[in-house]
Amino acid sequence: MDPSSIPSETLVTRMAAEDQQALSELYDRHRVVVFSLALRILGDRAEAEEVLSDVFFQAWRSAAGFDPLRGSVSAWLMTLCRSRAIDRLRRRERREGKLAPGDPEAATAVLSPAEAEEAMDVRAHRTRIRSALSMLTADQRAALDLAYYGGLSHSEIAAQLGQPLGTIKTRIRQGLLSLKKSLVEQFT
């Protein structure tokens, strides 16, 4: 059977049973996107590579706890990546006394020619996501950007934008609902 035809959820189930080949296949399938997100957040290739390793190590250890009803494998891995990258970013911020966000264009520079087909899929998804993001208000985009790429809490976003906490929570919630609706329409 062709490994690419095996659903990612099946690979995670096999990982929970300590199947190392399943981990290898999952890594091959998702490494570019996970690495790109880590690089986007951190802006440092070495740190992004460490986050990539951490994410798949954590996925291996917690595979039994994966619940497909809560989201896709890809979303699970991206959530793990985001958390790990933001933790590193916050440690760096404490160490250097400033926040150093990643270069948005750096993430695309990591794609090798051998990964061209996968890169095309990634670009297609980015285009759809950018389209969905363009439908948000500027206030919603700003709040979501600070939350997901800046790693700020709702309270920190409210303070930075000079807005009430309830307003920020509403903008983030409405923005996420709008994104979900737009993406569901695009991907179905």
pLDDT given for residue 97 in this prediction? 64
CA angle 77, 28, 17 (to 5 degrees): 70
Contact 60, 30 (CB under 8 A): no
Domains of the chain: 1-110 (1.10.1740.10), 113-188 (1.10.10.10)
CA angle 124, 188, 179 (to 5 degrees): 70
Query: What residue type is 86 in one-letter code?
Result: I
- pTM for the complete prediction? 0.56
Q: Identify the CA nearest to 102 among candidates 44, 143, 144.
A: 44
pLDDT given for residue 68 in this prediction? 86
pLDDT given for residue 106 in this prediction? 41
Is residue 116 over pLDDT 60? no
Q: How far is CA 4 from CA 8, 27, 49, 67, 169, in A?
A: 9, 12, 23, 21, 39
Q: What is the DSSP letter of 6?
A: S
The CA distance from 1 to 7, in Å, is 12
The CA distance from 55 to 88, in Å, is 13
